[in-house]
Amino acid sequence: MSLTLVKQRTDQQTASPRRVDGVAKIRGTALYVDDLPCADVLHGATVRTTAAGGTLQEVVFDPAIDWSEFVVVTARDIPGMNAVKLLENDQVVLVDRAFRHAGEAVVLLAHADPEKLGMALKGVSLVELPNTAPIFDIDAALAAQQEIIPGNIYTDYLLDRGDVAEGEHLADVVIEERFLTPSQEQLYIEPQGMLAHLQKDGSILVEGSMQCPYYVLDALVQCMGMDKDHLRVVQSTTGGAFGGKEDYPSVIACHAALLALKAGGRSVKLVYERGEDLRVTPKRHPSRTLISLGANKAGELQFIDMDFAIDGGAYRTLSPVVLSRGVIHAPGPYKCPHIRVRGRAVATNHPPFGAFRGFGAPQSIFAMEVAMDRLARKLAMDPAELRRINLLRTGDVNPTGDVVGADCFAHATLDVALEHTHYYQRLAEYRAWNAAGHQTRKGIGLATFAHGAGFTGNGELHLASRVSLQALANGHVEILCSNTEMGQGAATTLVQIAADALGLPMDRVHLAQADTSRVPNSGPTVASRTCMVVGELIQKAAGQLLQRLRETAELAAPHDAQSFAAACARLCAVAGDTLVTAQYQPPTDMRWDEQAFLGRAYASYAWAAYIAEVEVDVLTLETRVLDFTAVQEIGDAVHPVIVQGQIEGGVAQGIGYALYEDVLWNERGVMANDRLTNYIIPTSADLGFMHVVLLEGGLGAGPKGAKGVGELPMDGPAPAIVNAIQQALDIDICQIPVKPEMLLELTMSRGN
Amino acid sequence: MSTTMRINGKAFQSSSAPNARLLDVLRNECDLKGTKEGCGEGECGACAVLVNGRLVNSCLVPLGQMERAEITTVEGLPEDSALAQAFVQCGATQCGICTPGMMLAATALLAEYANPTLEEIRWGLSGNLCRCTGYGRIYAAIAQVAGGFADV
Amino acid sequence: MSDWIRPRHLPEALEILATAPGPYRVISGGTDLMVECHLAPERRPESWLDISGLRELQGLQITEEGIRIGAATSLEAIRRHAEVVAHWPMLAASAAVTGAPPIQNRATLGGNVCNASPAADNAPTLLAYGARLEIVHHHGSRWLPYGDFHLGYRKTALQPGELLSALWIPYPPKHSRGYFRKVGTRAAQAIAKVSIAALIEVNSDGIIQSAHFGMASVAATPCALPSVSQYLLGRALCDIADMQVRQKVKQDIAPIQDIRSTTAYRLEIASRLVLEAIHKRSESKKEN
C-alpha cells in the first residue's frame, strides 16, 4: 500500500472542538460519587474472608460493641439470588459458607461515623476452615489434583486453521519460547464506589462510578429480587475505568443496595479506600504462552503454534470473553497458512481477574511480537523486514480464515513508522553507540499489530443496542444512551457525531446522564465500541429525526439551527412524537463461527505499528524510554485531540506494563503491594513526549469510517520496548515487567 | 480549640480536631469537593492544594498547622484563565479526577517559572499522578500558556 | 479529642517533652506521620507536639566550618539554597529526589532523619558529609555524629525528652569529590532500592586521604561503609583492587529482599555504585 493513499492528520487542534465535560472538570465542579450531595449519609464497610478459599464456619460479633447502632447485612438478608449477575452465577454477593479466595465479602456494615465503622470492622471475626492447598499459578492449576472447578478450566478454545504439522515440515527455521505476563492494575485515580438510597415508594436508586449502568441494573434485579421498574442506576462522573469498572461496580452496587434496604431510608455510601480497591477489584489476567513459530528461508511464516493460558482467578466472571479476544489476536496481523492457538482460562484462588484495556490481546500479542523478533534473529533478518514479508495485505486470508478487504493498513502503518523514526539510521547509530563502551546501551524495537473494534462476532447482534434522540421544543437535542463518559471522551465524541449528523452546532446537542430510568440500553461502554457502534446508531437516529421533522414539521432542507428549532417547536406544539430510536442491525457480511474461531471476528480492525527507543544504564540496568512513536490507522479521527490523548495515555499504561507494573501476591493470594507507593505507575518524571501519527483510511464501520482507538495503545508498547531492550543488551527476555533486577540476572548469567 | 485560616480568599474557622486532615476539612466542612482523595498517602496528588502559595498534598496536612494559612483550592483559581483554556483545548483533562490537583501543580509551576523547560514541567508535575493522558497533553497545555517550551 | 500543642518557642517545647515524655508525638512536616495515621488509625497518637512553628528549628546558617540547618527546615528550602547547591551539591541532589515537589514543600530534613527509615533519601548524604546532630533537652544539649544516630531498625539514639534541633555539616575537604545516586522504583515519588553518597578526597599524588560513604536501603538502617573506607584510606587510586572493594562492601551491608527489590540486586548494585564513586573522575552527572 502506498503511503499517499492514507490521510495523515496534521491539524489536530483545529479539528477538535472543546470537550463538553472539560470546564466542569477543570473547575472541580464535576461530581464524582464521593462528591454527591447527600444529607445524613451512612458509610458502608465490608468484612472479608482472609483465607485463600475454604469454608466459613461462623461469624463472631464482638459483644463489647453495641451492634444496634449499626446496619448489619449478611447473606441471609439478600432478598433475591445470592449471585453476582455475569456470564455464570458462580460468584456470591455475600459469602454464606463456601468461598474461593481471600477478600470475598461476608458481612456489610454501615454507620454514620467512619471512625466507629472502622473499629466495628475489627469487631467482626470470621471462623474459617481454610483450603489447605490453594492454587496461584496457571500451570499448577492445570496439573493440580485439587479442583476449584472441574479440571480447573473455565474455558478451552481452539483456533485451528490449516495443519501445523504440515507447516513444521515446510519451515526451515523454527523458534520456541515460553512467555509470561503479570497481572496489571487499572489504577483509575478515583477508587470505586456507590451511593444507594431506598426511596419512599420502596424503589432503590444506586449512583456511582461505572462503565455499564445496565450491567449494574441487571445485577440489582437478580440480587434484590425486584423488577426493573423499582430499581434505578445512575452513573456519576467516573474518574477513570479502563475496564476496571466494567463488572465490579455490580458487586458494590448490590452491597450498597442491601445496606440501604436495611438503613431505614438513610442513604448508604460505599466508597473503597485505595488499599481495599487494590486488594479486591479485578485486574488484568496474568498469562503464560508457549509459542512456536516457523518460517522458510525467505522469512515467510509457515506455522504459528501457541498454547495460551490465562489465570481467571476464583470465579468465571468475564474470563471466557477475555480469552476469546486473546486467542483471536494471538497470531497477529500476519498471513500464515497453518495456525493453531489453544486458549485456556484456568481457575486459581486469586480474586477474579477482569477487563483491562486490550482485554486479553496485550498478553498474546506480547508473546507473538517478541517471538517475531526471535525468529528474525534466527533468520539473520531485520525485524522490520520480517514483518514486511508477512504483514497482511488486501486479498490475503487472515488468521481466522477471513479474506482481508480494502480496510487493511498493516503495511502503511509500518512504512510510516519506519520513516517517521528514521528507523534504519537509528539502528545504525545505536549499534555504534553500544560498541563504543558508553555507560548506557540503546535499542530500537517495534511491534506491528491490529485490534478488532466492538464485540466479537455475533456479540453486537446479541446486544441489540438501542439509542434515542429527543428533540426539545427549544431546538436542542438530547442523546439518550447508556454509554458512559469515563475520561475517554465519549460525551464529546457522541455529541459531535450527533451535531454533525443533525447539521447543528455542538452546543445544541447534549448527552443525557446515563440513568437507566431514562436512557435505553445501548450496550456496555467497553471494547472500543462506543464511537464506532453507538456513534453509528446516533447517526442513524439523527437521520430518522430529520426525516420526521421534514415530514411532520416542515423542516426545510437545508436547515440551520434556527429553522431546526422552529421545526422542533412546531412538532412539540402539535404534540408530535419528539423521540426517535435506532436499533443495531448487523452487517450482512458478518459470518463468525464462535466454536471454530473462523470467519469475520470484527466489523473493523484498526492497524498499528509502534516503535520504542530505549536506553539501559549499564551500571544499574534501569531502562528509560527515550522516544516512543505510535502510528495508528483508525479510519477517521472524529476528535483528533481526544484520539491523541487516548493513544498517549494508553501507551503510558503500556510503558508501565513493560517496565514497572507488577502485582505482587502474598501467601494468601492477596495483592501484597497494595499501596500507590509500591504499585509503580509512571510519573511525569518517567515519561517524555510521545509521537502519535494518525492515519485515516476512512473504511471503518463507524461514522465516516471511524473505528475503535482505545485498546491498541495497550497492545504494542510492551513488545516494542522488550524488543528494543533485547537489542540494546543482546539478551533474550521472556517476561514483563522488565525490572532492573531481572536484567541483572539475565546479564550476569550471560557472564557479562 | 479552633483553627482560623483563609480559604480561597475568605476567612474560615474550623473546629475540627487539629490532627484532622486538611483534605477532610475542605471537603466536608467547606464543601469544596474539587479537592479529591485518590490514595490518602501523599502519592497521587489528587488532593493537592496551595498553602501559602506552595503545592502540598492536603491529605498529609494536619489542620492544627493551618492557623493563619492562606489556602487555595481549585475553586479559588480564576475561572477562565489562560491555563484553564489551555487545559481544555489541549486535551489535558480526560477523566478529570487528577485535574484539580494538576491545575494547582501547573499554577505553582508557572508562578515559579514563567517560561519552563520540558524538564521543569515534568519535574513540577511529578507529584501528581495521571492515569489517562500519559501527561503529554498536560505538558502541551502548560507550554501553550508559557508560549512554548523553553528548551524544545 | 486529641491534644495538640503548638509551643511558641523551643524551651516551651522542651519543657513539655521533659515533663510528659512518652505520650507526645513530635510532628513537623507530617509527610510520614500522616500516612501512618491514615494506614493505622487505631495507632494514632493522642497527644501531639507540633514543632513546625518554632523559629529556632528553621533555616540555614553558614559558619566558618560549615552549615547549620534547622531540623524543621523544608527540603524545598534546602535544595534551593545557593550555598547548599555550591558547597554541598549532594545534599541539594538528595533533597531534590525525595518524593516530589508537594512532599519537599512540607517534609523536613530533621523529619527525614528522625523517621529513621532504612531508605531515608537524605541519610546517605548526611553520612558521607560527616554531619553532626544537635540534640536538645530541657536540661541541656549534646552533639552526636550522625553515624551514631541509627541504632537499629527504626531505632534512634534520641532519648525521652530529647529533640533533634539542628544538623551541622562541615565543608567538604578541598580536594574531595562527591558522588550521589539514588536508584529508585521510578524517577519521582520513589522509595530507594539502593542509594549512595560518597565523599572521597584524593591528593595530588593520587592517594586517597579520606573516603566517606553513606548508603540507604541496604541494611536495617542507613549505613556508612567502614570496611570500604578503611581499605581505601592511604591507598593510591591506581592500586585499588575492585574485588577487594566488593568484598568490603559485602561486609558492610546486609540487604534484604522486599517488595521493591531483591537481595542480589541490592548487593551487586551497591558494589557497582561504590566502585563507580571511587573511579569516577569528576562530579559531573551521567554522560549523555
- If asked whether residues C161 and C97 sit together in one domain, one would say yes
Residue B138 in contact with partner chain A when CB distance is under 8 A: yes
Residue B94 within any structural domain of the chain: yes
User: Which of C183, C260, C286 has its CB closest to that of A678?
Assistant: C260
Residue B122 in contact with partner chain A when CB distance is under 8 A: yes
Give Cα separations from B122 to A335, A623, A701, B95, B128 (angstroms).
42, 18, 39, 20, 10
Distance of CA A538 to the CA centre of its chain: 23
HSE-up (13 A, CA, CB side) for residue A558: 6
Nearest to C97 by CA among C119, C67, C82: C119
Q: Which tens digit of pLDDT belongs to each residue from A642-682?
A: 999 999 999 999 999 999 999 999 999 999 999 999 999 99
Per-residue pLDDT at C21 = 60
Which band of pLDDT confidence, cut at 50, 70 and 90, is reported for residue C284? Answer: very low
Least confident window among A12-21, B124-133, C205-214:
A12-21
- Whether residues B131 and A649 touch (CB distance < 8 A) is answered with yes
> Who has greater pLDDT, A276 or A10?
A276
Task: Give the residue from B51, B76, B101 where a domain finishes.
Answer: B76
Per-residue pLDDT at A690 = 94
Domain ranges of chain A: 1-9+407-453+604-752, 33-132+191-280, 459-583
- If asked whether residues C200 and C150 sit together in one domain, one would say no
- If asked whether residues C88 and C133 sit together in one domain, one would say yes
Which DSSP string corresponds to A169-202? HH-SEEEEEEEEE-------SS--EEEEEE-TTS
Share of chain B above pLDDT 90, in %: 96
Nearest to A110 by CA among A38, A195, A173: A195
- If asked whether residues C152 and C230 sit together in one domain, one would say no
Distance of CA A429 to the CA centre of its chain: 37
- For the domain that residue C222 is a member of, what is the CATH number? 3.30.390.50
Contacts of C101 in chain B (CB under 8 A): 55, 105, 108, 123-124, 126-127
- If asked whether residues C192 and C144 sit together in one domain, one would say no
Per-residue pLDDT at A312 = 98
First to last CA, chain A: 44
Write phi, then psi, for A270 (nearest 5 degrees).
Answer: -120, 90
CATH code linked to domain A459-583:
3.30.365.10
- If asked whether residues C154 and C254 sit together in one domain, one would say no
Q: What is the DSSP letter of A402?
A: P
Query: Residue B143: enclosing H or E segment and its boundaries?
Result: helix B136-146
Residue C284 within any structural domain of the chain: no
Per-residue pLDDT at A11 = 64
CA torsion sign for C153, C154, C155, C156 is positive
Domains A33-132+191-280 and A459-583 equal at CATH topology level: no
Report the C-alpha gap between A545 and A470 in whole angstroms: 9
Mean pLDDT calculated for residue range A184-206: 98
Q: Nearest CA of chain C to the CA of A311: how many Å?
A: 22
Contacts of C38 in chain B (CB under 8 A): 21, 40-41, 59
Q: Is 80 exceeded by the pLDDT of residue A127?
A: yes
Share of chain A above pLDDT 90, in %: 94
Nearest to A693 by CA among A2, A10, A5, A4: A10
Q: Nearest CA of chain C to the CA of A685: how many Å?
A: 6
Report the C-alpha gap between A366 and A364 in whole angstroms: 5
Residue A15 in contact with partner chain C when CB distance is under 8 A: no
Burial of A479 (0-12, 13-18, 19+ CB in 10 A): buried
- Whether residues C101 and B40 touch (CB distance < 8 A) is answered with no
Nearest to B91 by CA among B133, B32, B48, B152: B133
Residue B52 within any structural domain of the chain: yes
Q: Which tens digit of pLDDT belongs to each residue from A227-237?
A: 999 999 999 99
Which residue segment(s) compose the domain that B9 sits in?
Answer: 3-76
Per-residue pLDDT at C285 = 40
Q: Is 80 exceeded by the pLDDT of residue B97?
A: yes
Q: Is 90 exceeded by the pLDDT of residue A69?
A: yes
Q: Nearest CA of chain A to the CA of B95: how many Å?
A: 3
Contacts of C41 in chain A (CB under 8 A): 115, 118
Q: Is 70 exceeded by the pLDDT of residue A5?
A: no
CA torsion sign for A730, A733, A738, A742 is negative
- If asked whether residues C156 and C40 sit together in one domain, one would say yes
- Whether residues A684 and C188 touch (CB distance < 8 A) is answered with yes
On whether the CB atoms of residues A123 and A70 are closer than 8 A, the answer is no
- If asked whether residues B93 and B69 sit together in one domain, one would say no
Gyration radius (Cα) of chain B, Å: 15
Which residue segment(s) compose the domain that C240 sits in?
Answer: 177-279
Report the C-alpha gap between A696 and A699 in whole angstroms: 8
Q: Is 80 exceeded by the pLDDT of residue B152?
A: no
**Average pLDDT score, chain C:** 94
CA of A742: which chain C residue's CA is closest?
Answer: C265
Report the C-alpha gap between A257 and A43 in whole angstroms: 12
Q: Is 60 exceeded by the pLDDT of residue C275?
A: yes
Per-residue pLDDT at A689 = 80
The residue type at C46: E
HSE-up (13 A, CA, CB side) for residue A576: 22
Write phi, then psi, for A480 (nearest 5 degrees).
Answer: -110, 110
- For the domain that residue B115 is a member of, what is the CATH number? 1.10.150.120
- If asked whether residues B94 and B109 sit together in one domain, one would say yes
Q: Which tens digit of pLDDT belongs to each residue from A549-589?
A: 999 999 998 999 999 999 999 999 998 889 999 999 988 77
Per-residue pLDDT at A593 = 93
Q: Which tens digit of pLDDT belongs to each residue from C84-111?
A: 999 999 999 999 999 999 999 999 999 9
Nearest to A313 by CA among A275, A273, A356: A356
Per-residue pLDDT at C268 = 98
- For the domain that residue B55 is a member of, what is the CATH number? 3.10.20.30
Contacts of C187 in chain B (CB under 8 A): 126
Residue B91 within any structural domain of the chain: yes
Interface chains of chain B (3 or more CB pairs under 8 Å): A, C
- If asked whether residues B86 and B137 sit together in one domain, one would say yes
Q: Which tens digit of pLDDT belongs to each residue from A510-523?
A: 999 999 999 999 99
**Average pLDDT score, chain A:** 96
Can you point out the beta strands (E) in A273-401?
287-295, 301-313, 338-347
Which band of pLDDT confidence, cut at 50, 70 and 90, is reported for residue A458? Answer: confident
Mean pLDDT calculated for residue range A735-745: 98
- Whether residues B127 and C102 touch (CB distance < 8 A) is answered with yes
CA dihedral A236, A241, A247, A249 (to 10 degrees): -30
Q: Which tens digit of pLDDT belongs to each residue from A318-346?
A: 999 999 999 999 999 999 999 999 999 99
- Whether residues B132 and A487 touch (CB distance < 8 A) is answered with yes
Report the C-alpha gap between C177 and A209 in whole angstroms: 55
- If asked whether residues B70 and B7 sit together in one domain, one would say yes
CATH code linked to domain A1-9+407-453+604-752:
3.30.365.10
Per-residue pLDDT at C282 = 43
Q: Is 80 exceeded by the pLDDT of residue C288?
A: no
| Nine cell digits for residue A393 | 495485505
Q: Number of structural domains, chain B?
A: 2
CA dihedral C183, C184, C185, C187 (to 10 degrees): -100
| Nine cell digits for residue A701 | 464501520
Task: Give the residue from B48, B76, B104 where a domain finishes.
Answer: B76
Q: Which tens digit of pLDDT belongs to each residue from A237-258?
A: 999 999 999 999 999 999 999 9
HSE-up (13 A, CA, CB side) for residue B111: 12
Identify the CATH homologous superfamily for domain A33-132+191-280. Aldehyde oxidase/xanthine dehydrogenase, a/b hammerhead (3.90.1170.50)
